[in-house]
Structure 1
Amino acid sequence: MKRRSYASRPETLDTLFQGRLAIMQRRDGYRFSLDAVLLSHFVKLAGHEKIVDLGTGNGVIPLILASCNPSVLVTGLELQDSMVERAERNVRLNRLEPRVRIIRGDVCRIEQLFPPRSFDLVVANPPYRRIASGRINPDREKSLARHEIRGCLRDFIRAGFYLLPPGEKMDLVYPASRLSDLFNGMRAEGMEPKRLRIVHSYAESAATLLLVEGVKGAKSELKIMPPLIVYAKGKEYSPELKTILEGNSR
């Protein structure tokens, strides 16, 4: 991820995929992380999908999916006005207006925003810290994105269940330390875990992230994929990560 910094401005212009995708972000506010890139890579597309990203932030996941897959239509749902505005600018910056739209709305009130079963695929990078877990960041963009202040994991899964027809998929990224919460929440809301990829910083280190695909109303059977290793040594990305970040993996 290349970063261009402007000392006199509150935002930076970051690029992905060797400059093919540009993302405006607040310098000191919420910024997308590798989680979003890995989730976008994890998604399996058959073409012509209507996709919704719940809690889209700066819009990076819709931008990645639309830029790599010219047949998809992607909606980004975001609660915070500041990030809705920034995500809309990012859509225009990348000339993806015909296929990406950003909507302001609350995941917890999903029925007021969309009809049931109105998407083919749901993706989400939900807030991962409980209210009582750790210091809540004083920056509102960061705190709402990281802590379950305005929506918990179950709220996101429940919204995904509402938005999908039976048999369709929801893809999520979540901390490895909360695997039991994730699987229990998915099953409680009718979203059966069917595909799992575990992310490690190094081959010999403990897991850090989970990439999980659930299928609405499916029977129990989980496919565990080979682990995804971020670093080969030191701060050098693994060959797979380099390929993903270059945008050559689809």
Structure 2
Amino acid sequence: MEVGVGSLEPVRLARLLVHQPPRGQGYRVNVDAFHLAQFAAAPAMGRPAPRTVAFDLGAGSGAVGLALLALDAVQRVVFVELDPEAAAHAAQNIVEHGWRERAEVIAGDVSRICPEHAGAAHLVVCNPPYVEVGRGRVPAEGRRARARMGSLDAFVHAARTIAGRRARVCFVYPAREMATLFATLRAVGLEPKRLRAVHAKPDEPARIVLVESQPAKAGGLTIEPPLVECF
């Protein structure tokens, strides 16, 4: 159930409450964020939170990073978000969950912020814009347009900058653009090592892919069983 709170509208997911803009007034959280969080958290599940610093790039209201904290998969999350209103929502969400000691919000462009934290991440998660600038229909609402349209290259370069030697870098991206994602990752020295496709229904093509990459040599890709959202 969703209940409006002031000018924000929260989404409840078991232990997680995410404040976000009302409909039509900014980019809203969708299920892809939580698919990404669970995919990124999987290697740490069932163990106490490791001393892991995660960076959530293009964090929006913070859904991916918040889910990582709720799953106790990381010790600390740094949220990087360009839009100041979305960054403010993320900060509120952190406070309301009592995670001020485990989280930080940095408002700014990932291309500017990440060089200041080079090599600091053990885990990077990113739900980037799915549409490159100049392709597709531009949403009428400005904040939604900025969240939905942007450069994949900029986010991949930023991820590579902050990734430590053994860091895991996890992206969610449209399945039809998987080749583009792989090529962009490899261009900066990030090799895909783990893949899971997400299907809306069993008899439909994959909708999105979840990809974990690492600074590593080519090869060794593990393809996990597909995730089907609706049977």
**Does TM, scored on the shorter chain, surpass 0.5?**
yes
Of residues 119, 122, 125, the one that matches 2:124 is 122
Counterpart contact for 2:27–2:147, Cα < 8 Å: yes
Shift in CA distance, 167/135, structure 1 to aligned 2, threshold 3 Å: same
Shift in CA distance, 71/82, structure 1 to aligned 2, threshold 3 Å: closer
Q: Which range moved further: 67-76 or 29-38?
A: 67-76
- 1:11 shift after superposition: 2.0
Counterpart contact for 1:54–1:76, Cα < 8 Å: yes
Structure 2 equivalent of residue 38 of structure 1: 35
CA distance in 2 between partners of 1:153 and 1:105 (Å)? 17
- 1:111 shift after superposition: 4.7
CA distance in 1 between partners of 2:74 and 2:146 (Å)? 32
CA deviations over 1:177-234 (Å, ceiling 9, x no partner) = 10110011011111000000000000110110000000113332211000000001xx
Q: Which range moved further: 103-112 or 221-230?
A: 103-112
Counterpart contact for 2:55–2:124, Cα < 8 Å: yes
SS at match of 1:182: helix
CA deviations over 1:31-85 (Å, ceiling 9, x no partner) = 1100000000001454211100000000111111112217511111001111111
Q: How many residues align?
A: 223
Unaligned runs of 5+ in 2: 45-49
Q: Which range moved further: 97-106 or 34-43?
A: 97-106
CA distance in 1 between partners of 2:196 and 2:34 (Å)? 14
Unaligned runs of 5+ in 1: 233-250
1:34-113 equivalent positions in 2, closer than 5 A: 34-43=31-40, 44-46=42-44, 47-69=50-72, 72-113=75-116
Of residues 9, 13, 28, the one that matches 1:12 is 9
CA distance in 2 between partners of 1:186 and 1:90 (Å)? 31
Shift in CA distance, 228/176, structure 1 to aligned 2, threshold 3 Å: same
Structure 1 equivalent of residue 172 of structure 2: 173
What TM-score does the superposition give when structure 2 sets the normalisation length? 0.91
Structure 2 equivalent of residue 235 of structure 1: none
Q: CA RMSD in A?
A: 1.5
What TM-score does the superposition give when structure 1 sets the normalisation length? 0.85
CA deviations over 1:152-180 (Å, ceiling 9, x no partner) = 11111111111112232100000001011
Structure 2 equivalent of residue 183 of structure 1: 182
CA distance in 1 between partners of 2:142 and 2:63 (Å)? 19
CA distance in 2 between partners of 1:64 and 1:83 (Å)? 16
Structure 2 equivalent of residue 244 of structure 1: none
SS at match of 2:32: helix
CA distance in 2 between partners of 1:82 and 1:12 (Å)? 13
